[in-house]
Chains A and B, each alone.
Chain A
Amino acid sequence: MDIMDMTALQLAAAIREGKTTAVDATEAVLARIEEQDKTYNCYVTVDSDGALAQARAVQKKIEAGELTGPLAGVPVAVKDNLCTEGLRTTCSSKILHNFVPTYTAEAVKNLQKAGAVILGKTNMDEFAMGSTTETSAYGVTRNPRNTEHVPGGSSGGSAAAVAAKECFYAIGSDTGGSIRQPASYCGVVGMKPTYGTVSRYGLIAYGSSLDQIGPLTKDVADCAAVLEALSSHDMKDSTSIAREDTDFTAALTDDVKGLRIGIPNDYLGEGLDGEVREAILRAADVLKEKGAVVEYFDLSLVEYAIPAYYTIAAAEASSNLERFDGVKYGYRTEEYAGLHNMYKKSRSEGFGEEVKRRIMLGSFVLSSGYYDAYYLKALKVKALIKKAFDEAFSKYDVILGPAAPTTAPKLGESLADPIQMYLGDIYTIAVNLAGLPGICLPCGLDSKGLPIGLQLIGDCFQEKKLIRAAYSYQQGGELA
């Protein structure tokens, strides 16, 4: 087997068995990046020298028996909103074009402890704001399945890098679907864990109460292994949760007998592409044949998720992005007259259109006189959505549906109409508002040959049920 075709777990096993080395794998993947990435533009920064140095160090430790984990020696791509000490971290924004962090994000540290080799930083929508990776200041990323199409976003570079085999796995962040939707568009597996499972320390915040870091992988087994490595209780993140049950690989069993699966009617209605709908229902049938109990139900409130999300995320973002002011790091305008002019020009020139739109939206909903009408109301909607899910999970183990209404749109089609783009987040957003885990995995191709993603949603801390269902599906269903 060509090592480039291996999953992360297969590669690590091959390294452990001495069939290949971390250095060989890193060299091979760097060569692939060199060859292809001018076309796909998955990466903002490729750290070839650093990756090779890490690979050599990791290989030594593996040989010395100091690194024995299931991911030791495997090269990974990291989304460019996770801080990496000494390695430029831009959030795909001009305002951080020269920003080199002084510390490494906790999630990345956890991967390093597991023996990961960091290849570089992947392209994304600027500050994770977007659904196509077209708002990046460093060019669009093309979908490796069809370069006329977007890879999705905001973790589009990470999803595309996995699909294009420019890494063995990647990590991304998901605020409203930013891991699951690009996974769907690129035909890879992506998972957002329960809020608080992976430390956010070192993740450059977009919507702090919604952001979670998670894996993008070639299959479900890799996804479980990577999530297991990422998870930790971090005292540096107040929202981090101490969990005992993060041995996610233990759930990799082909057994869904008696698993109660609910399909929300709300997720199959207007706006959903017919081919996507068919593929989702076929996937449900696969699980049913394997012994799951499948039922339809009304989730309700789905239409309120988008306005609530864009209110809360934009409000938090407007504050989170205040620190980018040209004073301490990042872009500062060339000429200015006084402090306020410097702020204004640096931010006007440093941020892109979508980021500015969301900062304005967020500032507005927090303004005195509007706070109650917008922000507080959105928080109430958030609480109601959580309640609706609580009710659903009293009846079902897993909620099944699409990750996106369509397959990947063509480049340039989405940004012209932001409202339409926001509506595309309808199936992923509620999961973030309720803090739930969600996984997206490929479940077939449409007639254009573009991948379709199946989304499984679980109750808080029930990742194992999702992993079990997703793993079972991959043992029998249509892949992409």
Chain B
Amino acid sequence: MSKQYETVIGLEVHVELATKTKIFCGCSTAFGAAPNTQTCPVCTGMPGSLPVLNKQVLEYAIAVGLATNCDITRYAKFDRKNYFYPDNPQNYQISQLYLPICRNGGVEIETEAGDKKTVGIHEIHMEEDAGKLIHDEWEDCSLVDYNRSGVPLIEIVSEPDMRSAEEVIAYLEKLRQIIQYLGASDCKLQEGSMRADVNLSVRELGTEAFGTRTEMKNLNSFRAITRAIDGERERQIDLIEAGESVVQETRRWDDAKGESYAMRSKEDAQDYRYFPDPDLVPITVSEEMLAKIREKQPEFRTEKMARYKAEFDIPDYDIEIITGEKPLADLFEAAVALGASPKKASNWLMGETLRLMKEQELDAGDLRFSPENLAKLIALTEKKVINSSVAKEVFEVMFAENVDPEQYVEEKGLKTESDEGALKMVLEEVIAANPQSVEDYRNGKEKAIGFLVGQTMKAMKGKADPGSVNRMLKELL
């Protein structure tokens, strides 16, 4: 490769909002119900039905807009995007084209070099999700489930400001963090509550004009996004180097094969015949409404980090990790509010929690144990009701099933043996059974005591306080 190329990337990010009901009707948005059980005349496109905007959708969209430094459109409208497909019961999608709710924003990210950089946000608009088609291979037919039809989405359209996969991931992480902090969505890529389409072109370094771009769809993880960006960059450069040209098209990423294929080209692009939806009245955002939403904005990460530094004696690195994921920060704060020591709470999150999350490939949003139970577990260790190895064992069960640690310890009989008489009897047995180690210890081999402590703990089935064991052993020896 003789020339130097620059990658130019813009993203279209769809985020499913965490409302209880759909965007234009009262049907539940809960995931996993039997097909077509969460539907009504509106979200199945029955003749004569009419949409009514769910106000919570508007509030979330504005909240995201404010948090990403957008201008809020004070007179916004919904438009119909017309296209025929069976997952779209009206054969038009209600979206926003002409007057989207948020425009001209941006978020700051950190580049690989450690520099600050702003990624512009062109607009954020509200729209409805489509239903789901299920293709029955045996019956040679397709079935439609409209449970998802009408689930609220926002689409965040960035400017073409990103230059690498790393910047894209940084931008997505930033968006996810902001939206999770707002509680507007759980932003899970795997489950599709956050979806990113990548618009990518390459140009010779130093040139101003953009190259021809492609749009990449079906990217279900940060890893897939990174691979797809690197792959598409290579593909486009190869075409240019070979004297061919890049075709403006939509491509689908196949993560299993590690390659993409063309779905449709610009020539096939449909004319969506957008026009304002006459069934929905224009949205007027009042000063009062904006003020209310502003007032409700949560403490975002930067503020939270500063507060943690001031309030809690925990390492900066811990603060960075815990505040990086809203659910972790929530757990931490709630446990501390219940009386847990910040240091201990942080240790449990940074240690066992992250370890198990990694092992089980879970997101912070998947965590099931409650802050109450974490606080109880910490209290049990602090009061020495259980020792640290038992605590770890209890934590694993709590992590999986959110058991009440007090109850669990009680039921399983995991309390540390506090009866010194019983302990003394066991110690005497251990001393009698291990004359060599006793001898070694008495000859100044301090380490030998570790073996004796271990033997004692084993005999006690772990239910002894290692500190007491140590102290009593020394006395006996």
In the complex the two chains form, is A323's CB within 8 Å of B52's CB? no
The answer to whether B190 has its CB under 8 Å from any CB of chain A is no
In the complex the two chains form, is B47's CB within 8 Å of A83's CB? yes
Closest to B53 in A: A238
Complex interface bits, B90-114 against A, C-beta within 8 A gives 1, otherwise 0 = 1110000000000000000000000
Closest to B47 in A: A204
Interfacial residues of chain B within 250-281, with CB under 8 A of chain A in the complex:
271, 273-275, 278-281
The size class of the interface chain B forms with chain A is 20 to 34
The answer to whether A327 has its CB under 8 Å from any CB of chain B is yes
In the complex the two chains form, is A328's CB within 8 Å of B44's CB? yes
Chain A at the B interface: SS class: loop
Given A319-B80, A319-B82, A339-B86, also A83-B275 (CB < 8 A) = no
* Of A101, A208, A235, A368, the contact of B279 (CB 8 Å cutoff): A208
CA distance A92 to B46 in the complex (A): 17
Closest to A209 in B: B278
Q: Which residues of A contact B41 (CB under 8 A)?
A: 102-103
Q: Which residues of A contact B48 (CB under 8 A)?
A: 81-83, 101, 105, 200-205
Q: Quote the shortest CB–CB distance from B147 to chain A (angstroms).
A: 15
Complex interface bits, A204-218 against B, C-beta within 8 A gives 1, otherwise 0 = 110111000000000
CA distance A326 to B41 in the complex (A): 17
Query: Which of B44, B274, B279, B280 has the most chain A CB atoms inside 10 A of its CB?
Result: B279
* Of B51, B80, B82, B91, the contact of A325 (CB 8 Å cutoff): B91
Q: Which residues of A contact B46 (CB under 8 A)?
A: 83, 101-103, 328-329
The answer to whether A227 has its CB under 8 Å from any CB of chain B is no
Q: Which residues of B contact A340 (CB under 8 A)?
A: 84
* Of B52, B86, B90, B278, the contact of A322 (CB 8 Å cutoff): B90
Complex interface bits, B292-325 against A, C-beta within 8 A gives 1, otherwise 0 = 0000000000000000000000000000000000
Closest to A205 in B: B48
The answer to whether B152 has its CB under 8 Å from any CB of chain A is no
The answer to whether B45 has its CB under 8 Å from any CB of chain A is yes
In the complex the two chains form, is A236's CB within 8 Å of B281's CB? no
The answer to whether A20 has its CB under 8 Å from any CB of chain B is no
In the complex the two chains form, is B82's CB within 8 Å of A367's CB? no
CA distance A105 to B48 in the complex (A): 8
* Of A91, A238, A375, the contact of B50 (CB 8 Å cutoff): A238
CA distance A367 to B82 in the complex (A): 11
In the complex the two chains form, is B90's CB within 8 Å of A366's CB? no
* Of A91, A99, A324, A367, the contact of B271 (CB 8 Å cutoff): A367
* Of B53, B271, B273, the contact of A319 (CB 8 Å cutoff): B273
Given A89-B47, A200-B50, also A366-B275 (CB < 8 A) = yes
Q: Quote the shortest CB–CB distance from B262 to chain A (angstroms).
A: 19
The size class of the interface chain A forms with chain B is 35 or more
The answer to whether B426 has its CB under 8 Å from any CB of chain A is no
Q: Quote the shortest CB–CB distance from A434 to chain B (angstroms).
A: 15
Q: Which residues of A contact B10 (CB under 8 A)?
A: none
In the complex the two chains form, is A327's CB within 8 Å of B280's CB? no
In the complex the two chains form, is B50's CB within 8 Å of A237's CB? yes
Given A238-B281, A239-B281, A327-B144, also A366-B47 (CB < 8 A) = no
CA distance A296 to B365 in the complex (A): 72
Closest to B24 in A: A238
Closest to A340 in B: B84
In the complex the two chains form, is A367's CB within 8 Å of B273's CB? yes
The answer to whether A363 has its CB under 8 Å from any CB of chain B is yes
Given A236-B50, A319-B80, also A328-B45 (CB < 8 A) = yes
Complex interface bits, B24-60 against A, C-beta within 8 A gives 1, otherwise 0 = 0000000000000000010011111111110000000
In the complex the two chains form, is A323's CB within 8 Å of B275's CB? no
The answer to whether B89 has its CB under 8 Å from any CB of chain A is yes
* Of B89, B91, B271, B279, the contact of A239 (CB 8 Å cutoff): B279
Q: Which residues of B contact A205 (CB under 8 A)?
A: 47-48, 279
Q: Quote the shortest CB–CB distance from A43 to chain B (angstroms).
A: 20
The answer to whether A422 has its CB under 8 Å from any CB of chain B is no
The answer to whether A343 has its CB under 8 Å from any CB of chain B is yes
* Of B144, B271, B275, B281, the contact of A315 (CB 8 Å cutoff): B275
The answer to whether A9 has its CB under 8 Å from any CB of chain B is no
In the complex the two chains form, is B90's CB within 8 Å of A323's CB? yes
Complex interface bits, A178-221 against B, C-beta within 8 A gives 1, otherwise 0 = 00000000000000000000001111110111000000000000
Complex interface bits, B136-157 against A, C-beta within 8 A gives 1, otherwise 0 = 0000000010000000000000
Q: Quote the shortest CB–CB distance from A351 to chain B (angstroms).
A: 14
Q: Which residues of B contact A164 (CB under 8 A)?
A: none
The answer to whether A316 has its CB under 8 Å from any CB of chain B is yes
CA distance A343 to B91 in the complex (A): 11
Closest to A83 in B: B48
The answer to whether A96 has its CB under 8 Å from any CB of chain B is yes
CA distance A83 to B41 in the complex (A): 11
Closest to B90 in A: A323
Query: Which of B44, B45, B281 has the most chain A CB atoms inside 10 A of its CB?
Result: B45
CA distance A329 to B47 in the complex (A): 10
Q: Which residues of A contact B86 (CB under 8 A)?
A: 325, 327, 339
Q: Quote the shortest CB–CB distance from B140 to chain A (angstroms).
A: 12
The answer to whether A304 has its CB under 8 Å from any CB of chain B is no
Q: Which residues of B contact A105 (CB under 8 A)?
A: 48
In the complex the two chains form, is A96's CB within 8 Å of B47's CB? yes
CA distance A363 to B274 in the complex (A): 10
Q: Which residues of B contact A96 (CB under 8 A)?
A: 47
Interfacial residues of chain A within 360-374, with CB under 8 A of chain B in the complex:
363, 366-368, 371
Q: Which residues of A contact B274 (CB under 8 A)?
A: 366, 371
CA distance A447 to B86 in the complex (A): 55
Q: Which residues of A contact B280 (CB under 8 A)?
A: 238
Closest to A99 in B: B47
CA distance A461 to B274 in the complex (A): 32
In the complex the two chains form, is A323's CB within 8 Å of B47's CB? yes
Complex interface bits, A327-367 against B, C-beta within 8 A gives 1, otherwise 0 = 11100000000011001000000000000000000010011
Q: Which 6 A-B pairs have the closest CB atoms?
A: A322-B91, A209-B278, A366-B273, A208-B278, A202-B48, A204-B47
Q: List 26 A-B contacts (CB under 8 A).
A: A81-B48, A83-B48, A89-B47, A91-B47, A101-B47, A103-B41, A205-B47, A205-B48, A207-B278, A208-B279, A235-B52, A236-B52, A238-B50, A238-B280, A316-B275, A319-B82, A323-B89, A325-B84, A325-B86, A340-B84, A367-B271, A367-B273, A368-B271, A368-B273, A371-B275, A375-B275
Binding site for B on A (CB under 8 A): 81-83, 89, 91, 96, 99, 101-103, 105, 200-205, 207-209, 235-239, 315-316, 318-319, 322-325, 327-329, 339-340, 343, 363, 366-368, 371, 375
Given contacts A81-B48, A343-B84, 20 further A-B contacts (CB under 8 A): A89-B47, A91-B47, A103-B49, A105-B48, A205-B47, A208-B278, A209-B278, A236-B50, A238-B50, A238-B281, A239-B278, A315-B275, A318-B273, A319-B92, A324-B47, A325-B86, A327-B144, A328-B46, A339-B86, A371-B275
